[in-house]
Amino acid sequence: MLGGKAEWRGRALEIVDTGGIVPDDKALIPQEILRQAHVAIKKAALLVLVVDGHAGMTPLDEELARLLRTTGKPFVIAVNKIDAASQEVNAAAFHRIGAPIFPIAAEHGTGACPIVERHKL
């Protein structure tokens, strides 16, 4: 689990990355990653599910969204790899999850600020 502290407009934040999925693991969500995620979820004020805008909706995305929904905590979907306005259509498929959608481009550092601002973190 990776994490760090940050400051945004005078407010302290702690961001935790629970890790990704191990492609060759037989379990859909490896147990250690799931255990670490539960620890982070208990402490979180807002949960952010980061998905791949190029890959589209996957069964894993849907399973993780169901898991986040059961926590009762607010969560949003950060649709990564949306590098231009013309690619925002790639984020549309994720609306069926029923959480707010934020197109982002991690490589370029765009789109993440509205998540923090909207949720007054």
pLDDT of residue 23: 47
Domain tally, the chain: 1
pLDDT tens across the length of the chain (121 residues): 677 888 877 888 888 887 665 545 666 667 777 777 778 889 898 999 999 999 999 988 888 888 889 999 999 999 999 888 778 888 888 999 999 999 988 776 677 655 555 555 4
pLDDT of residue 1: 60
pLDDT of residue 94: 94
Of 31, 35, 36, the C-alpha closest to 17 is 36
pLDDT of residue 90: 84
CATH assignment at residue 36: 3.40.50.300
What is the domain range of residue 90? 2-118
Helix count (H) and strand count (E) of the chain?
A: 3, 5
Q: What token pair was written down for 24?
A: 């060759």
Between the alpha carbon of residue 73 and those of residues 46, 68, 89, the distances in Å are 7, 7, 27
